[in-house]
Amino acid sequence: MQSPVQPDATLPRNVPVLAICAHPDDIESWYGGTLALLVERGCDVRVAIATAGEKGSADRRLTPVEIAQTRMEDQKAAIARLGIAGVRFLGWRDGEVADTMLFRAQIVRLLREVRPALVFTHDPEHPYPPYITHRDHRVVGRVVLDAVYPAARDHLYFPEQIAEGLQPHKVASVWLFASTVATTAIDISETLERKIVARLEHRSQTGDPDDLRVAWRERAAAIGQPFGLRAAETFTVVNL
């Protein structure tokens, strides 16, 4: 059995934290319990989402604009359930996120503004599920890692930001979620129900709420079982 990594041993207190993901509901789906724990530990948790998820509906009666409006409002309600004050939508099109200099500059600016000690994002190298992970997930994770190191740290990257008064920033660690090689487990037994309530705020992405509650409790238990934890979320941690 792998040795569990308990929250008291790994999660910081009273530091800035930045979570960057591709779509509304990615946070609640993968690491909402961990973010809720960080909030409890006095961390200033900020959230940025690349797209509004406007292609995330099978309802042909809805336009992408209508879907986006619904999903953004759902996301605001969801993170409020986790104790997080606000969310920044980065304005990229769902399914069309690209690894460009413009996107990298946007993430570098965000890092230099928020100055997080800890960053959460998608695992772009060993994503779950393998082979069929949403392309936006892989692209966002890659751009965030490239922005963290070395771009946000070094003053000669995007010097126009330095000229504006933003200073280089070194992130201490990046926690990659939805990773097939994750070895760090966080016990979320105390925040699991809060995570589920937050996920249920994404009503457009929820079929039967009762089925979701059962499935997510089972999922958290299955993730925690190899670590001897009742409920867990897992990560690949990259320390810089």
Residue range 15-70, pLDDT digits in tens = 999 999 999 999 999 999 999 999 999 999 999 999 999 999 999 999 999 999 99
Q: Are 20 and 121 in contact (CB under 8 A)?
A: yes
| 3-state DSSP percent of the chain in helix, strand and coil, to 5 | 45, 20, 40
Classify 186 as helix, strand or coil.
strand
Sheet holding 16-21, edge to edge: 87-92, 44-51, 16-21, 118-122, 173-177, 232-239, 184-187
Q: pLDDT (tens digit, 9 = 90+) per residue, 116-175?
A: 999 999 999 999 999 999 999 999 999 999 999 999 999 999 999 999 999 999 999 999
Q: pLDDT (tens digit, 9 = 90+) per residue, 67-119?
A: 999 999 999 999 999 999 889 999 999 999 999 999 999 999 999 999 999 99
Alpha carbon 171 to chain centroid, angstroms: 16
DSSP letter at 93?
A: P
Provide the pLDDT confidence category of residue 6 given band limits of 50, 70 and 90: low
Q: Are 78 and 27 in contact (CB under 8 A)?
A: yes
Provide the pLDDT confidence category of residue 5 given band limits of 50, 70 and 90: low
Q: Are 74 and 29 in contact (CB under 8 A)?
A: no
Q: Domains along the chain?
A: 13-184+192-205+234-239 (3.40.50.10320)
Kindly write down the DSSP assignment for every residue of 35-92, as one continuous string: HHHHHHTT-EEEEEEEE--TT----TTS-HHHHHHHHHHHHHHHHHHTT---EEEEEE
